Amino acid sequence: MKHETTKVNYETGEVTEVNANFVQLYQDKMPFLISMIRENSTAANVFLFLVEHMDKRNAIIISQQAIAEGLGLTRKTIHTAVKYLREKKALEIFKSGTSNIYAINSQIVWRSNASGKRYALFDARVYISASEQETPLFNSEVVSIVRKK
């Protein structure tokens, strides 16, 4: 996988290479991450799963059931791991109706530039599980056909 992408400024014509598909990990938080791996490896796996799937503002909307299925664990195990992560201040959970928005602590890891850290704007990725849906995901049944006259 290429870690850089080309960015073109269409006003100036300047072409630059920028990093893409990365997260920043703060070096002073390495002891915290190491201790989390030692204390609660399941919570560390949940944390890394959320980091992998979070958006550019460190947020993701996902159910605990979907996390469980993504990691091959039980929902109860995920609940316990999330509780640990909240206690350690590795993440916070915001509510939107009945949905959970997981926000990863930006003082541990960050996906974008530093200027956006102080804003609570969420354009979170949504990760859903097939087992939580009433109908199969991506049902390819044709609803109608458009014909040219």
Of the candidates 80, 90, 76, the one whose C-alpha atom is nearest the C-alpha of residue 47 is 90
91, with CB counted inside 10 A (0-12, 13-18, 19+), is: buried
Q: What is the pLDDT of residue 37?
A: 96
Give domain limits for the chain: 22-132
pLDDT band at 145, cuts 50/70/90? low
* Structure token pair of residue 96: 């939107």
What is the per-residue pLDDT across 97-139, written as a single tens digit (0 to 9) for each?
A: 778 889 999 899 988 766 555 544 556 567 777 777 766 666 5
CATH (residue range 22-132):
1.10.10.10
Asked if residue 75 lies in contact with residue 68, where contact means CB atoms within 8 angstroms, the answer is yes
User: Exposed, middle or buried, 3 (CB in 10 Å: 0-12/13-18/19+)?
Assistant: exposed
Q: Tokens 């400024």, residue? A: 9
Highest mean pLDDT: which of 11-15, 42-46, 129-133? 42-46
**56-86 residue pLDDT tens:** 888 899 999 999 999 999 999 999 999 999 9
